[in-house]
Structure 1
Amino acid sequence: MIIEVAISDLKLGQYVLDIVDQTGTYQLKGPGHVKSQAIIDHLAKHGVLSLLIDTRKSLTIKNEKSGDIQFTRPEQTDTYIAPLAFEISQAKALFSHSKHIQQQVLRNILNDVDVDLAPVKEVADDTVNAVFKNPDALACVLNIRFKDDYLLEHAVSVSVLMTIFCRHLGIEKRLTKELAIGAFLHDVGKIKIPDEILNKPGKLTPEEFVIMQSHVEHSVEIINNITGISDISLEVAALHHEKLNGNGYPYQLVADDISLYGRMITICDIFDALTANRVYKAGYCHVKAFNILRKLAQDGELDLPLVDQFIRCMGVYPIGSLVELNANRLAIVEARTDDPIRPKVRSFYDIDHRHYTMAEDIDLSSVEGVTIKSVRADDFNLEMNKIVEFLMLQG
């Protein structure tokens, strides 16, 4: 199992895949086992905060008390792991690793270093494989966001959303991987936009908006110079701000000139921008975001049948989203049912008394008298990360 561990919890014998979070720019020579305390001390000294560990490759320590430390591979045993906890843990680790790769890509661009496509392809492969196996876990993790990491998380999230959408539409895995790569790289040009414009809390002036729009052309130029990039990956990145009525940018293309994949990424990009928290703006709940997407489609900007397919794909109440029940309880959506507006949920929080409660699974399709509405954790001064951790501990 791949998990993220803090440097303070790193142990001898564990197999390190990569650095997830750090205060510096230290890079591992490659994955490997931790075979001495000196290695742990060295990582901590260089500002490493957390790492990605493959628990399946951990070694067992022998003769530790005698000082003659030896490592052996443990016998393989079948251990039961709660499916939901396992899937979400894997998905969180994959999302964190993807952010790390995105950070490396942006760092290379800033330093005029060629972007290596190999780790991006690896992340895309892992994302596609995870989504095609079970899209719900990664969809759930998309709700655990940090407003200070918007640029990194937006790129990763759009790639995940694009992959989930592809699976729903029956697009083959090989092509989905190329689309996921394009989505992962679609906003790299924003690294060329001045921070005071990129992170401006208020409305941009016309002059500032022209500069902001140029990020697409910067992205196209950067992606086009990546060795091994496919035409389809470049296409999907180039079209993510085009609108069917010709009012998009930078090419002002109209419907007939915008491919299916260009239409798809525009929907994914807008949806994530609407639902994500930023330093200066709270995101919308999912139902509100869906309504905005449909309004944009009715106004001729987006493909309406495709928007409706996206909503069906995500679910009216997406897996991992928060809902408020009429008994003044909060619940998280766990699974869909045959009724699209009556999912299975797990209640966990008493709104009146402002405290967590024993989790209760409720199939809304089989009970009467329980109403439901989409809400956000911020509305109740809660954090999605802590909510998910609490529910994982509940089993």
Structure 2
Amino acid sequence: MIVEIDIQELSEGHYVVDIVKQQASYALTNSGHIKNQQVIESLKRKGVLSVLIDTSKSESNQEGNAKLGRFHDEQLPAIVEITKAKKLFNQSKQLQQQLLQDFASGEPVNLTPIVESSNQTLNAIYKNPDALACIINIREKSEYLLEHSVAVSMLMSIFAHYLALDHQISQQLALGAFLHDVGKVKIPDVLLNKRSKLTPTEYAIVKTHVNHSIELVRQIPGLSEISMEVVALHHERLNGSGYPYKLTADKISQYGRMIAICDVFDALISNKTHKNGYSHVQAFAILRKMGQKQELDIQLVDAFIKCLGVYPVGSLVELSSQKLAIVEARNLQDTLKPKVRSFYDLTDRRYIMTQDIDLSQSSEKILKGCRAEDYKLDMNKIIEFLMMQG
């Protein structure tokens, strides 16, 4: 069985699968047995706080005090991939923070770790695109300015993979998406964090972040034209209503159309200082309306929705039985009937024993997509509860 244990509970003979929590960005190169106490002390010095162990392979066969419960062996690939995806997201967030600090202070930008992170993201998508999409969906969304570019970069990677674009092009698209909002370091925080609606003058100032982004990324040696194109075009709209250039459809490339969709989608589902985000289904509906108004490319919007699934993995749904459930797997034959896991009774307002439901084989129906906040629930607590249930 796979369990998570605190680093203090790790002992000789345990078989470590992966790192779960850490204070730094140390990467475990290989799974394996803990040979001696020196290895444990080394992990502690590197900031490791907890790890996943496989009790069936552990020589001591100790299960320890599992904080997040047990998982069946057949669940190992999904659990490990989602754990790795979460670690990758957090590492990318740290890179984004350092990037913004460098731009704000005028320090030269080192692209190498960002390129490496983009490659890791693409590799993770090739292994399990749903795992990465799940992390985007269940993240706290409490640090919008920091997390938005990371999420958009990952969405761009997932979308590029779905469209079967060349690996090198996908990498350049992901890199451009990671950099697309760096110009916000030039915008006053009081405007970026304003809780009320921006005045026309304030909005005009905020819109200049694209111009600032273009100026900043031009200073990065070796950045490709494709990456710069992504930065420059993310707020352009096919009907000419976008900015800063007010380009029309004939001047906006496929890459510009893709980044616009990814950028708008993450903005819609994310919590802001002045309002909560939309559910995924609501966000998809807004994207389609924007497509019908010729702001976004409607064909690419539909492809994006198919790429993530009408009910993306990690999103919440309300069932006809008055229960909340989390989407566990997409149904490629019928996107309206994914596999879900119910966990909360809306009538009694309480957590319940989880039940896996294949909606293609059940009379249960999805009433609507929803968000944890709609029911005054905490997504982190939901995930913790689900993992404890196993």
Correspondence for 2:220: 226
Relative to structure 1, the CA distance from residue 107 to residue 196 in structure 2 (aligned partners, 3 Å threshold; closer, same or farther) is same
Correspondence for 2:297: 303
1:260 aligns with 2:251: no
For CA contacts below 8 A with separation 6 or more, give which structure has more relative contact order.
2
Superposed, 1:236-247 pairs within 5 Å as 236-247=230-241
What is the SS of the residue equivalent to 2:36?
A: strand
Q: CA–CA distance in 2 between the matches of 1:133 and 1:61?
A: 32
Shift of 1:56: 3.2
1:131 aligns with 2:125: yes
Q: CA–CA distance in 2 between the matches of 1:6 and 1:224?
A: 45
Deviations 1:15-68 (CA, angstroms, capped at 9, x unpaired) = 9x99x98xxxxxxxxxxxxxxxxxxxxxxxxxxx5654527378633589xxxx
1:188 aligns with 2:182: yes
Correspondence for 1:385: 380
Q: CA–CA distance in 2 between the matches of 1:61 and 1:8?
A: 14
Correspondence for 1:74: none
Correspondence for 2:348: 353
Correspondence for 1:199: 193
Task: Indicate if the aligned counterparts of 1:190 and 1:219 stay in contact, CA closer than 8 A.
Answer: yes
TM, length-normalised to structure 2:
0.83
Superposed, 1:66-81 pairs within 5 Å as none
Task: Indicate if the aligned counterparts of 2:288 and 2:298 stay in contact, CA closer than 8 A.
Answer: yes
Q: CA–CA distance in 1 between the matches of 2:157 and 2:5?
A: 27
Task: Indicate if the aligned counterparts of 2:11 and 2:37 stay in contact, CA closer than 8 A.
Answer: no
Task: Indicate if the aligned counterparts of 2:313 and 2:328 stay in contact, CA closer than 8 A.
Answer: yes
Task: Indicate if the aligned counterparts of 1:128 and 1:177 stay in contact, CA closer than 8 A.
Answer: yes
Deviations 1:274-317 (CA, angstroms, capped at 9, x unpaired) = 00112321000011111111111111211111111111111111
Pick from 247, 263, 269 the counterpart of residue 269 of structure 1. 263
Shift of 1:205: 1.4
Task: Indicate if the aligned counterparts of 1:143 and 1:384 stay in contact, CA closer than 8 A.
Answer: no
Correspondence for 1:170: 164
Task: Indicate if the aligned counterparts of 2:316 and 2:324 stay in contact, CA closer than 8 A.
Answer: yes
Correspondence for 1:85: 79
The letter of the residue matching 1:380 is Y
Superposed, 1:31-70 pairs within 5 Å as 49=23, 52-54=26-28, 56=30, 60-62=35-37
Name whichever of 299-308 and 367-376 sits farther off.
Answer: 367-376
Q: CA–CA distance in 2 between the matches of 1:57 and 1:93?
A: 16
Shift of 1:339: 1.0
1:375 aligns with 2:370: yes
Q: CA–CA distance in 2 between the matches of 1:266 and 1:218?
A: 18
TM, length-normalised to structure 1:
0.82
Relative to structure 1, the CA distance from residue 268 to residue 63 in structure 2 (aligned partners, 3 Å threshold; closer, same or farther) is closer
Structure 1 stretches of 5 or more lacking a match? 22-48, 65-76
Pick from 310, 317, 328 the counterpart of residue 323 of structure 1. 317
Q: CA–CA distance in 2 between the matches of 1:147 and 1:5?
A: 26
1:336 aligns with 2:315: no
Q: CA–CA distance in 2 between the matches of 1:207 and 1:11?
A: 61
Shift of 1:248: 0.5
Name whichever of 80-89 and 348-357 sits farther off.
Answer: 80-89
Relative to structure 1, the CA distance from residue 256 to residue 230 in structure 2 (aligned partners, 3 Å threshold; closer, same or farther) is same
What is the SS of the residue equivalent to 2:137?
A: coil
Task: Indicate if the aligned counterparts of 1:85 and 1:392 stay in contact, CA closer than 8 A.
Answer: no
Structure 2 stretches of 5 or more lacking a match? 40-55, 59-72
Task: Indicate if the aligned counterparts of 2:194 and 2:273 stay in contact, CA closer than 8 A.
Answer: no
Correspondence for 1:111: 105
Shift of 1:394: 2.8
Q: CA–CA distance in 2 between the matches of 1:205 and 1:9?
A: 55
The size of the alignment, in residue pairs, is 353
Q: CA–CA distance in 2 between the matches of 1:158 and 1:63?
A: 40
Task: Indicate if the aligned counterparts of 1:7 and 1:50 stay in contact, CA closer than 8 A.
Answer: no
Q: CA–CA distance in 1 between the matches of 2:7 and 2:93?
A: 18
Task: Indicate if the aligned counterparts of 1:162 and 1:179 stay in contact, CA closer than 8 A.
Answer: yes
Task: Indicate if the aligned counterparts of 1:324 and 1:330 stay in contact, CA closer than 8 A.
Answer: yes
Task: Indicate if the aligned counterparts of 1:108 and 1:114 stay in contact, CA closer than 8 A.
Answer: yes
Q: Identical aligned pairs, as a percentage? A: 53
Shift of 1:5: 9.9
What is the SS of the residue equivalent to 1:54?
A: coil
Task: Indicate if the aligned counterparts of 1:274 and 1:289 stay in contact, CA closer than 8 A.
Answer: yes
CA RMSD of aligned residues (A): 2.9
Deviations 1:76-115 (CA, angstroms, capped at 9, x unpaired) = x967562222121111101000000000101111111001
What is the SS of the residue equivalent to 2:285?
A: helix
Q: CA–CA distance in 2 between the matches of 1:124 and 1:345?
A: 30
1:394 aligns with 2:389: yes
Deviations 1:353-391 (CA, angstroms, capped at 9, x unpaired) = 222222211011111253431010001122222222322
The letter of the residue matching 2:353 is M
Shift of 1:352: 2.1
Correspondence for 2:43: none
Relative to structure 1, the CA distance from residue 90 to residue 364 in structure 2 (aligned partners, 3 Å threshold; closer, same or farther) is same
Relative to structure 1, the CA distance from residue 376 to residue 341 in structure 2 (aligned partners, 3 Å threshold; closer, same or farther) is same
What is the SS of the residue equivalent to 1:359?
A: strand
What is the SS of the residue equivalent to 2:341?
A: strand
The letter of the residue matching 2:251 is D
